[in-house]
Amino acid sequence: MALGPGVEAPDFEAETHRGDRLRLSSLRGRVVVLYFYPRAMTSGCTREAQRFNQLLDEFEKLGAVVLGASTDPPERNRRFAEKLGLRFTLLSDPDGSIARLYGVLKEGTKRPSAKRVTFIIDEDGVIREVIENVRPAEKHADLALEAVRRLRQG
């Protein structure tokens, strides 16, 4: 079960699609939209990433950072980001440890993957909203933007 609102977001460090490393706690003081996606290069994840990319300026106007995380290796995420021209950071979680921390790891599959879940994390590192079970996938970005707006109006 995914972590819920009011819980401190577990800290982690992950390799980005750019080849550097990012620690979640380094983003304290900013709102973080952490969205997990099952697999790069698939149709649903492509539409989802494209929509986050389309809305990125709106997120940034609200002071929010968008991070996409999957169990894909960094090279696959790099190709995905380049193919789509993504302007936000993708994180690799190849062993599923970050997805497990957040309660979104799909169990019992050949290759571990994450469920499609988005966490809205406030400036203090506390999860404020969790968005799950959204179909179609691209609606995730719109719902996340609404959640950030609510947090800012808060």
User: In CATH, what number is assigned to the domain containing residue 144?
Assistant: 3.40.30.10
- Within-domain flag for 39: yes
Decide if 45 is catalytic.
Answer: yes
DSSP β-bridge partners for residue 132: 117
C-alpha to C-alpha distance for 48 and 136, rounded to whole angstroms: 8
pLDDT above 90: residue 109: no
**CB-based burial, 51-68: b 16+ in 10 Å, e otherwise:** bbbebbeebeeeebbbbb
Give the active site residue among 9, 45, 55, 145. Answer: 45
- Within-domain flag for 146: yes
**Rounded to two decimals, what is the model's pTM?**
0.95
Q: Give how far the C-alpha of residue 105 lies from the chain's centroid of Cα atoms, to the nearest Å.
A: 13
- Within-domain flag for 119: yes
- Within-domain flag for 2: no
Specify the 3-state DSSP secondary structure of 57: helix
Considering its fold, how many domains does the chain have in total? Answer: 1
- Its domain, for residue 54, covers 13-153
pLDDT of residue 4: 94
pLDDT in tens, 28-76: 999 999 999 999 999 999 999 999 999 999 999 999 999 999 999 999 9
- Within-domain flag for 61: yes
pLDDT of residue 13: 98
